[in-house]
Structure 1
Amino acid sequence: MKIVAVSDTHMPRMAKALPPALVQELADADLILHAGDWTSPEVYDMLAVYAPVQGVAGNNDGPDIVERWGYRRIVEIGGHRFGLAHGHLGWGSAAQNAYAAFEEEEGISAIVFGHSHVPLLTAANGVTLFNPGSATDKRRQERFSYGIITLQSVMSTYQHGYYSSKV
């Protein structure tokens, strides 16, 4: 199963359309996870053309997105429990805030989050923390990015996809 993880799209301010490199990955996605800061409900429509979409709201999302998605979600996929949180609620780093959004007894194996626009793959207490960065708003990063999660029978692999804009 191929899951494409995105966050911090900030559309349409940062992009009018999904970047071609991301669209290429979405073409054979089984599921899309969006970790907040859509900034427009139309982003869901753009993504849903490719695969089912699950997500959460971020700090830049309006009440319509917050009402639809909430700030925290658990998605069960292939025997894994994925936590989704933007990472903005709390006083720590985005990773710390995302981790704190879930309780140990919820059995989360991985948390997909955003907020910092900085790609990250790390672990805390046996939980994988994965930030795909941003495919449309790289801020101080060298390249734009998104995430790919591949689920196999007993193994998950996480990787970032990077691409450079042509200016």
Structure 2
Amino acid sequence: MKLFVISDTHGNIDQAVEIYKKLKDIDLIIHLGDYGKDAKNLENRLGVSVLSVKGNMDGAFSQDGYRILDTVFGKIFLAHGHMENVKQNLQTLLYKAESMGCKAAFFGHTHVPLFEDVEGMYLLNPGSLTLPTGGRKGSYAVVTLSEEGIEAFIGYEEIQQKRKTEYGFLSNLLNQSDRF
């Protein structure tokens, strides 16, 4: 099974569409939040299914902020990450994923790409294609799952168009916090 994983598109899916068109044999697109409507827009533009979770900018709370994906590799915990406080540390994310019998956890929110094995739990954050942090290029992930294991590739792209986002106080508060 091959996945195209993105997060934190914040209303701009053009680059995700272009990258998807270049990829081969993608079985599923996963959007890890901020903005939920971007997943629907991707479905409409590409004519493919997109599995998504809501992020902090979508007003997600505990029960609607995560999903479990059953795969040939095993269960994967999908979350945006704000409810798991991923900007502080990854302990809550690890605990939740492990307590639900998952072998991997995919998350967003930090806008920083990551693929790491933490004591047998695989953590993946595709970063952000449209609003990367720390002077990075935009990023996404392509994940290949099999009964034998998981492989991930983090891809980097120049941002096609810099979009100045004018956030107000409340939007900044929501986007920069993990929980309210």
TM-score above 0.5, yes or no? yes
Cα displacement (A) at 1:47: 3.8
**How far 1:82 sits from its partner (Å)?**
0.6
Match of 2:103 in 1: 109
Q: Structure 1 vs Structure 2: percent identity of aligned residues? A: 32
Q: 1:44 aligns with which of 40, 46, 49?
A: 40
Partner SS for 2:90: helix
Q: Does the alignment pair 1:17 with 2:14? A: yes
Q: Pick the aligned partner of 1:129 from 118, 123, 128.
A: 123
- Structure 1, 49-58 or 140-149: larger mean CA deviation: 49-58
Aligned position for 2:93: 98
After TM superposition, the runs of 4+ consecutive aligned structure 1 residues lying more than 6 A away are: none
Q: 1:91 to 1:82 in 2, by over 3 A?
A: closer
CA gap of 1:148–1:95, structure 2 versus 1, over 3 A, is: farther
1:50/1:109 CA distance change after superposition, 3 Å: farther
| Aligned partners of 2:73 and 2:149 also within 8 Å | no
Q: Tell me the matched-pair count.
A: 158
CA spacing shift, 1:35–1:110, aligned 2, 3 Å: same
Letter of the 2:72 partner, please give it. G
More helix by share: 2
Measured in 2, the distance between the counterparts of 1:32 and 1:47 equals 9
Instruction: Tell me whether 1:82 sits opposite 2:82 in the alignment.
Output: no
Shift of 1:99: 2.2
- TM-score of the superposition, structure 2-length normalised? 0.74
Matched, 1:151 2:145: yes
Shift of 1:116: 0.4
Q: Is the 8 A contact 1:148 1:160 kept in 2?
A: yes
Name the CA distance, whole Å, in 1 between partners of 2:66 and 2:151: 23
Residue 2, structure 1, aligned to residue 5, structure 2? no
CA distance in structure 2 between the partners assigned to 1:27 and 1:47 by the alignment = 17
Give the counterpart letter for 2:109 in structure 1: H
- In 2, Cα distance between equivalents of 1:45 and 1:5: 15
Amino acid at match of 1:162: Y
Equivalent of 1:35 in 32, 35, 41: 32
RMSD of Structure 2 on Structure 1 (CA): 2.6
Runs of 5+ consecutive residues of structure 2 not aligned to the other structure: 162-180
SS in 2 for 1:109: strand
- Displacement of 1:101 in angstroms is 3.0
Tell me by how many angstroms 1:129 deviates. Answer: 0.4
